[in-house]
């Protein structure tokens, strides 16, 4: 059996027409995020919210960015990373997504009613 773990998308940015967290690439060897404009968002601090250890990243160059309107209404775009997010990232390539809808729906395993 292969477990499939979807990565939750909790940001409302995509719904507002802005870049979502999935548009930012985490570079584990440097412990930074690369934004859609190519800037590096560096680690700033770590805190605990609801029992989860979260790391915060941002760049000081957002104010002059040509893509700022597509990214954030705030002073800078901040990205949170859970301390164990690498586990979810490692599973992501195996998640079937739209290629295999039956893997996403539990009720497909049940016989259809007659």
Domain that holds residue 68: 21-94
In a domain? residue 10: no
In a domain? residue 7: no
- CB count within 10 Å of CB 66 equals 7
In a domain? residue 71: yes
Q: How confident is the model at residue 5 (pLDDT cuts 50, 70, 90)?
A: low
In a domain? residue 103: no
For the chain, how many structural domains are there in total?
1
Evaluate if residue 108 carries a pLDDT over 80: no
Average pLDDT, the chain: 82
In a domain? residue 16: no
In a domain? residue 30: yes
**Reported pTM:** 0.71
């Amino acid at each position: 059996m292969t477990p499939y773990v979807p990565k939750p998308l909790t940001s409302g940015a995509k719904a507002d027409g802005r870049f979502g967290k999935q548009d930012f690439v985490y570079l584990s060897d440097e412990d930074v995020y690369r934004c859609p404009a190519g800037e590096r968002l560096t680690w700033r601090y770590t805190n605990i919210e609801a029992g989860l250890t979260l790391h915060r990243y941002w760049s000081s160059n957002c104010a002059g960015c040509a893509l700022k309107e597509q990214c954030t209404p705030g002073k800078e775009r901040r990205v949170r990373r859970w301390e164990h997010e690498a586990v979810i990232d490692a599973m992501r390539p195996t998640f079937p997504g739209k290629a295999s809808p039956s893997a996403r729906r539990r009720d497909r395993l049940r016989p259809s009613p007659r």
